Amino acid sequence: MLVSFGTRVAFGVFFKPMLSEFGWTRALTSGAASVLAFMEGLLGIVMGALNDKVGPRVVLTVCGFLLGAGYLLMSQIETAWQFYLFNGIMVGIGMSGIVVPMMSMIARWFVVRRSTMTGIVSTGYGVGALIAPTAANWLISAYDWRMSYKILGGVVLVVVVFAAQFLKRNPPSMERQVYAEGGRAEQKLELETRWFSLQEAVSTRQFWLLIFMFICGGYSYSALSIHIVPYVTDLGISPATAAGILSILGGISIVGNLALGHAGDKIGNRWVFIIGFILIAAVYGMLVPAREVWMLYLLAVVFGIACGGCIASQSPLIAGLFGLRSHGLLFGVAGLGHAIGSALGPLMAGYIFDVTSSYQLAFIISVAVGIIALILTVRITPTHSKGKN
């Protein structure tokens, strides 16, 4: 989680150096991130199904290799199609096998504190997002963006493939016994009476509300994470400070992962999303007048905490609504919604800037998207039995 998501978040630091060398528009440059997000979500369905059958070790070994290789090949690009092939398609395929298999694995291993444990694992994303942008900015300053991609790609390839060898789909007790609070093994899961196949899940109102909620969430997060560095530098602030703001935005998600992840076990994961979307909409609203560095740091902190809580609550919310039997597949399908939003967010923000020379309209639209997500979340109610609303 640390190296894969850290490197992905660091793309914002590479944004302007690549613009300077190739002279591309912001929409075109953002488009590769959109392709990445879409590929990640689309193939996340396949990876989720494979994880249910063969486990995370095989899936993450293959995807870790593709992920690292994609970043290594980024150092060699000369044309836009190569950029889209390596950073959009190849890295997107690699990322598709990161989140779903690992989060599904955690859902199988833990019951009583599922949201808390998911939050702890998700802190890998926050630590990576805290370290990688600053590290990438230093590497680019010391060398150039091509050598930086070589270094980061090598790290990703080695670490992800190595770590994958230690992953197990189920606890040693296997099948119906899953570790619960205090190291005990629960003999009967409460979710055994609430399991859904994909066909049964798509027939429920809750599943479609969840998908559209994920679309809005993906849009809200990716639009800012990709464009925050160019936005901040457009205000006349230094690239190093902009990279620091991006690092805080991702790194502070650790607090959201842990605090709101733990809260999810107490108040329910739906409430974590409600709190998160209120904060996200508020941040976008405040970004329009924000000009001071301290304000940008503060908004990055709030946004990071909100997104961290939502990230930690995705997998547990699906497990709570639809059970564990097809959790990987259902998470993958629902994750496609997040990917669609993640693809639309950067592309839309980049296009709006190219047309208006400003991000103001893009931020206002993101406020509306956050409010829509809040309404959808409020309307999600528990599923009561297999295959019924």
Partnered with residue 185 across adjacent β-strands are 179
Q: Is the pLDDT of residue 278 over 90?
A: yes
According to DSSP H, which parts of 75-189 are helical?
80-83, 91-96, 99-109, 114-142, 145-164
Rounded CA gap, 87 and 75, in Å?
A: 10
- What pLDDT score was predicted for residue 373? 93
Unique residue bearing structure tokens 């912001």: 26
| 281, two tokens | 């909409």
Give all domains of the chain, ordered by start, each with its CATH number.
2-170+193-378 (1.20.1250.20)
Give the 3-state DSSP-derived string for 44-73, with helices as H, strands as E and coil as C: HHHHHHHHHHHCHHHHHHHHHHHHHHHHHH
Angstrom distance (rounded) from CA 319 to CA 383: 11
Q: Contact at 8 Å (CB) between 4 and 160? A: yes
Backbone angles phi, psi at 179, to 5 degrees: -60, 135
pLDDT in tens, 152-190: 999 999 999 999 999 887 766 544 444 444 444 443 444
* Predicted confidence (pLDDT) at residue 59 exceeds the cutoff of 50: yes
For the ranges 128-142, 165-179, 250-264, 296-310, which has the lowest average pLDDT? 165-179
Closest CA to 163 of 357, 355, 380, 1: 1
- pLDDT digits over 344-380, tens only? 888 888 889 889 988 889 999 999 999 999 999 999 8
CA-CA distance, 231 to 87, in Å (whole number)?
22
CA 224 to chain centroid, in Å, comes to: 13
Classified as helix, coil or strand, 92 is helix
pLDDT score at 192: 43
What are the pLDDT digits (tens) for 123-144? 887 788 778 888 888 999 888 8
CA angle 151/157/163 to nearest 5° reads: 130
pLDDT at 388 exceeding the cut of 50: no
Within the chain, how many helices (H) and strands (E) appear?
A: 18, 2
- Provide φ and ψ at 185, rounded to 5°: -115, 120
pTM above 0.85, yes or no: no
CB atoms under 10 Å from CB of 342, counted, come to 29
